[in-house]
Structure 1
Amino acid sequence: MSVTKERRAAASAPRRIWQMLRRALDVELRIYASIGRFVARRPAVPRGAFGFSYHRPVFTVLMIFIVLSAVEIPIIDLVVHRWPVVRIAMLVLGLWGVTWMFGLLCAYLMRPITVGPDGIRVRQGLELDVHLTWDDIASVARRKQVDEPKSPRIVEADGARTLALRMQDETDLVIALERPTVVRLPGHAPKGGDQEITAVRLWVDDPKGFLDEVRRYL
């Protein structure tokens, strides 16, 4: 039995590596796609829907990281300028880091949470995009909650499974679902992949405006 398990693990290892590489490539492509949307001023909002931002709690932190990453480039270049190979490698790495951080910020700006005729699209950063139709949704309510740092994304309590999409450990809205609903999260089990949930907690910068828009459909 143990030999069979070892063989299965060995066989699945290349597949896991391939999935990780493919995910990394997808994230990289989304970085540049987000920058493109930012330059073109075309946020990813479906026709007839309204977008709501959720970046306010992390905006300052991201800007600090971007500025610090940009400042590091000439400083490191000054230190390693005597070694051309190292200098070029550090320059490429530094520019890539700044581009990545800027692309992440653009993803927050250009991939808003949306409310529209087809339901609610709950988004966060580069990868997460959960579509909930109005038939899936029982209610939407304003409820601010602060969790402990590094709390799990899926919270299980009293038979319920809640997807908690926090910004700086906070959420300010809760979406209760009509029935247990399977959604796909970035990554693989147990934290990602297909997950059955009964509610979603999320952060929106304008919860009042979000609820006003929801009332048009629910």
Structure 2
Amino acid sequence: MERQLPARLIRLAPIVLPLLAIAFARAMTFTDWAAANAALAALLFAWIVAESLLLATIAKAEDRKPGLRAMLGAGAAASVVVLVGAAAPVREAIHGMPPLLAAAALTLALFVAWSGALIVHTLSGGASVEEAAAIVLPPKLVRFISAESRIMRLALCGWWRAQDVPAGAQGFSYHRFLLPMIYVFLALQAIELAMVHFLLMQWNATVAWIWFGLGIAGGLWIVGLAQGFRIHPVLLTEHGLRVRSGAMVDLLVPYDAIACIVPSFGAEHVKAADTFDHAMLSWPNAMLELDRELTVRPLLGAEQRVRRIALRIDESAAFLGALEDRVPQLRG
């Protein structure tokens, strides 16, 4: 653990240090000195922002050799920060420097044009919007936006959707024990949100409404998760077992990858690093042993290599019986 911590800090440094430098530079534009020396402060602010983002791009690149488009993207991001991020007197000084404005506008235009051409080319090759966006934006950011969008769509529109069980597949629910607990949690969250909002209104209305908005967004996120659990049951399909956990996980387990049904299991099996625990807020009631490793790629979070799958199914006996019917070698 002691060796892992410095390694993690080193990986975070190219992200954290530039942000700290930019935040410090922006804070300095609000000082009296910056207001009295707006032109000099504007040039210093532009230099620090551009230098920080470009050095961060170099540090994060493989072999410290970023491509031209990556450097152009860093320059475009720096242009946006420089044009809108400083205090009013410094920002006015920046807007009064035609060469600086022209350089920022040209950088932004080149990056947008290049990125747009790449997106169009990728989409024309049959890729999804998410795959195309990941070419021009950080993949983790694209996955995060995609995940948030999917959860919010479920929260707002999932109430009218039936369970997603394709033709020829058998669906097995796991939400009946889970949803009541989630809705109780939501009710408690709503009470807490109302109380905190009332208290904050006595101090600062702006902060109170920001807190209220964040609370509503968090509540919708939880509703979206709950709807996903209902809409996306575990499936037995022609090609294998689809282990789904709402909109968060969708793992296809080929039938020939299932070595056996584990008749009994304890905490050491469920909590093992190579076990995917499908159960939430409860204990699993079925476990499958695999004959090879599979990779679980959740909507959010890190990948996991697994050799066992622990499941919580509302009707576990019916599920195991149907699984044995499709995979006769599991019997006995």
State the partner residue of 1:24.
144
Relative to 1, partners in 2 of residues 1:151 and 1:34: Cα closer, same or farther, differing over 3 Å?
Answer: same
State the partner residue of 2:296.
184
* Structure whose CA Rg is larger: 2
Residues in 1 aligned to 2:140 and 2:319: alpha-carbon distance in whole angstroms: 35
Q: Structure 1 runs of 4+ off > 4 angstroms?
A: none
Residues in 1 aligned to 2:157 and 2:236: alpha-carbon distance in whole angstroms: 20
Alignment of 1:125-164 (within 5 A): 125-140=246-261, 143=263, 145-147=265-267, 151-152=271-272, 154-155=273-274, 162-164=275-277
2:218 to 74, 97, 103: 97
Letter in 2 for 1:59: L
Alignment deviations for residues 38-58 of structure 1 (CA, whole Å, 9 cap, x no partner): 322222322221221223454
Alignment of 1:40-55 (within 5 A): 40-55=160-175
Letter in 2 for 1:11: K
Relative to 1, partners in 2 of residues 1:50 and 1:206: Cα closer, same or farther, differing over 3 Å?
Answer: same
Alignment deviations for residues 85-122 of structure 1 (CA, whole Å, 9 cap, x no partner): 12321221121121111111112211211112222101
State the partner residue of 2:154.
34
Relative to 1, partners in 2 of residues 1:43 and 1:187: Cα closer, same or farther, differing over 3 Å?
Answer: closer
Verify: 1:167 aligned to 2:280, yes or no.
Answer: yes
Unaligned runs of 5+ in 1: 1-5, 156-161
Verify: 1:118 aligned to 2:239, yes or no.
Answer: yes
> What is the alpha-carbon root mean square deviation over aligned residues?
3.4
Relative to 1, partners in 2 of residues 1:206 and 1:22: Cα closer, same or farther, differing over 3 Å?
Answer: same
Alignment deviations for residues 145-181 of structure 1 (CA, whole Å, 9 cap, x no partner): 4527x935x34xxxxxx4343334622212233x314
Higher percent of residues as strand: 1
Deviates more, 1:66-75 or 1:34-43: 34-43
State the partner residue of 1:193.
303
2:196 to 61, 76, 79: 76
TM-score when normalising by structure 1: 0.73
Q: Is the CA contact (8 Å cut-off) linking 1:146 and 1:170 kept in structure 2? A: no
Q: Is the CA contact (8 Å cut-off) linking 1:52 and 1:204 kept in structure 2? A: yes
Unaligned runs of 5+ in 2: 1-9, 15-58, 63-69, 71-136, 328-332
Percent identity between the two aligned chains: 24
Relative to 1, partners in 2 of residues 1:65 and 1:164: Cα closer, same or farther, differing over 3 Å?
Answer: closer
**What count of residue pairs does the alignment treat as equivalent?**
198
State the partner residue of 2:323.
214
Alignment deviations for residues 6-64 of structure 1 (CA, whole Å, 9 cap, x no partner): 79x73159x9x944433322321221233356322222322221221223454343122
State the partner residue of 2:4.
none
TM-score when normalising by structure 2: 0.51
